[in-house]
Structure 1
């Protein structure tokens, strides 16, 4: 996941058990390992309005509202709930990035 996130323009990461990915000081995604004792290994991404509810309703066995972040619309993907589709992860990261990155940086993501 780190490789996918850090491939986006100007992304920085910090942390070990929980890794935050940010662009210009704004976090857009996290790698979570047993976040607040939930026992899951997951990625959490900032989501567009309504996306969290839609994903959870459609695929609640894979997607969930993460503690503390879920109330702000973030959505998490349980990486142990079946085979991981890394193209889907790349898309989630790119979508979250676009929500917070400056337009000039977001424009560099053509095709992602």
Structure 2
């Protein structure tokens, strides 16, 4: 991963990425999708309306700020922006500052 403090882990028995033990995203091998967190419901609904082949939400996630993305249909840049937002809310200020300092402009 390009972001500091990210480590591989597991969530509900599936492979996951974590930031300081906080879930960043979880891979669902059964349908080749990832669970993306901290996506407000209005944004989630907009993504689903715009790209239904790429984004979806299962009923048990409807009450949460979560969207699922089908990896074979979603653009990497879109997922990266969603993941980076979650990473920034979980990483230390020092890690974020170091990343931003080293990031090419």
> For the superposition of Structure 1 and Structure 2, which TM-score range results when normalised by the shorter chain?
0.7 to 0.9
Higher alpha-carbon deviation: 94-103 or 18-27:
94-103
Gaps of 5+ in 2: none
Structure 2 partner of 1:37 = none
Alignment of 1:1-112 (within 5 A): 6-15=1-10, 18-34=14-30, 40-49=31-40, 50-66=42-58, 68-81=60-73, 84-110=74-100
Give the Cα separation in 1 of the matches to 2:97 and 2:43: 22
The structure with the largest strand share of the pair is: 2
- Deviation track 1:16-74 (CA, whole Å, cap 9, x = no partner) reads 9721111111102111111xxxxx21122113423212211222221012564553211
Q: Is the 8 A contact 1:65 1:71 kept in 2?
A: no
Gaps of 5+ in 1: 1-5, 35-39
Cα RMSD, aligned residues only: 2.7
CA deviation after TM superposition for structure 1 residue 106, in Å? 3.0
Answer with 1 or 2: which has the greater Rg: 2
**Off by >4 Å, runs of 4+ in structure 1:** 66-70
CA deviation after TM superposition for structure 1 residue 97, in Å? 1.1
